[in-house]
Amino acid sequence: MNRSHIEGSAPTDKAGQCKTVTVEEAAKILGIGRSLAYDLAQSGELPGARRLGGRYIVSRAALLTFLGEVAA
């Protein structure tokens, strides 16, 4: 696999938004602090959070569903 291609193009939805967000972005969306968001990700309680190598990625759709919004 060509790593530069993977790193340069994040998957997007029909609206052009990235399908994943960072833990920091998830914290902002949820209105919580960065440290709490990382604690929740590590404990498996942050909706849509997955460990990928040495970092976490968070599903935008899972966050929106958690917040009761419909991701169209």
CATH of the domain at 61: 1.10.10
Q: Tally Cβ neighbours within 10 Å of residue 56.
A: 22
**Core vs surface per residue 18-53: b (16+ CB within 10 A) or e:** eebbebeebbebbeeeeeebbebbeeeebbbbeeee
The pLDDT, as a whole number, for residue 43 is: 97
* pLDDT tens column, 41-64: 999 999 999 999 999 999 999 998
Q: Is residue 14 part of a domain?
A: yes
> What strand order describes the sheet that includes 55-59?
20-21, 55-59, 49-52
The pLDDT, as a whole number, for residue 16 is: 78
Q: Is residue 38 part of a domain?
A: yes
- Secondary structure (3-state) at 22: coil
Number of domains in the chain: 1
